[in-house]
Amino acid sequence: MDDEYFMRAALREAKRAEELEEVPVGCVIVFEGKIIGKGFNQTESLQDPTAHAEMIAITAAAGHLESRRLETCTVYATLEPCVMCCGALVLARVARLVFGAYDPKAGAAETLYSIPSDKRLNHTIEITGGFLAEECGSILAEFFSRLRGDRNGGKEY
């Protein structure tokens, strides 16, 4: 199993969000080659601004390991995580982050901020950005295009 296998699992989570009319972002967390946490955006369904895919997956993974530290885990997210999610990944001491589409409006891993690699913090995370970016971005572009009722497939995430 490799990065593509796990990112495709995250994409399946994103599709679950889309089925609920949530912003289609998915996340899986891997430990020793197995998915131990997964999540998809549920902010509207739960009316909870913290119910991002990454936050839900972190909670599941920490519960699985019975530890707040995910030191040897890899996180796969279909969209570059926001400030909140990047902060949580640092606090969980995740080893590696692989994300799909870059987020020009809220991306905090590389685009607007570089929280996971900021050496001023107590932990840094290895990052692979833009993995399967076109596929991860297209699900978002199509979702927002449908919301706006247009057919131009704009790239605004």
Instruction: List, by residue number, the catalytic residues.
Output: 54
Residue count (the chain): 157
Q: Using DSSP bridges, classify how beta strands 26-31 and 74-79 pair: parallel, antiparallel or unpaired.
A: antiparallel
Contact call for residues 77 and 53 (beta carbons, < 8 A): yes
Any residues with CB less than 8 A from the CB of 116 and at least 6 apart, and which?
Answer: 86, 89, 90, 97, 109, 124, 125, 127
φ, ψ at 36 (rounded to 5°)? -115, -5
